[in-house]
């Protein structure tokens, strides 16, 4: 595994105590697959007021447009690492191909997670124009907008050439809705 991927993956595993916190939040992510949900509230609210729903921030229609495949929203059955009560996880959402074909996208929203460290990690590229700061390594992008950090991972399916364009398009959509 490349060092940048390891470093980016470790961000998810950072202990909650290492992040600035205030208030508690559980793992959300129960956006409905039908219709177009309204965008989430602004991320500039106090940490206790964060109610972003990742499936409203990134919709199945966004993923379908970026990857060119039909997708289905998967349930968040347990919080990912760093999730749970009093943790930094705000919400998570995963979309997978609606057919047997490969492809899908995962989005996790965290509060107050620092990401500037990644500016100096070999293999990680800064991405201009996405939120307040963003870093990309392979099929994963970490971005920050206000008090929300988002982790976006794209599996492009059978067409790997779509990975980076899809990642960037979806990152712009996420950042614009936070």
Residue 171 to residues 22, 28, 33, 71, 145: CA-CA distances in angstroms? 26, 20, 20, 18, 11
User: What digits encode the pLDDT tens for the residues 35-53?
Assistant: 333 334 333 332 333 344 8
For residue range 127-166, what is the model confidence (pLDDT) as tens digits? 999 999 999 998 999 999 999 999 999 998 888 888 999 9
Measuring CA to CA, which residue among 129, 55, 74, 177 is closest to residue 141? 129
The model's pTM is 0.69
User: With contact defined as beta carbons under 8 Å apart, do 63 and 103 qualify?
Assistant: no
Q: Residue 138 burial by CB count (10 A; 0-12/13-18/19+): exposed, middle or buried?
A: middle
| Whether the Cβ atoms of residue 120 and residue 137 lie closer than 8 Å to each other | no
């Amino acid at each position: 595994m490349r060092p940048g991927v390891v470093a980016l993956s470790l961000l998810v595993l950072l202990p909650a105590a290492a992040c600035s916190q205030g208030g508690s939040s559980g793992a959300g992510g129960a956006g409905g697959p039908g219709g177009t949900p309204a965008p989430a509230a602004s991320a500039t609210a106090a940490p206790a007021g964060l109610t972003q729903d990742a499936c409203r921030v990134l919709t199945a229609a966004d993923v379908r447009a970026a990857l060119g495949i039909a997708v289905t929203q998967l349930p968040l059955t347990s919080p990912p690492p760093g999730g749970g009560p009093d943790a930094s996880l705000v919400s998570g959402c995963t979309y997978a191909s609606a057919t047997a074909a490969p492809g899908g996208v995962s989005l996790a929203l965290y509060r107050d997670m620092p990401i500037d460290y990644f500016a100096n990690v070999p293999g990680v590229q800064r991405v201009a124009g996405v939120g307040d700061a963003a870093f990309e390594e392979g099929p994963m992008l970490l971005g920050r907008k206000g008090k929300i950090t988002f982790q976006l991972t794209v599996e492009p399916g059978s067409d790997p050439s779509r990975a980076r364009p899809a990642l960037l398009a979806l990152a712009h959509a996420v950042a614009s809705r936070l």
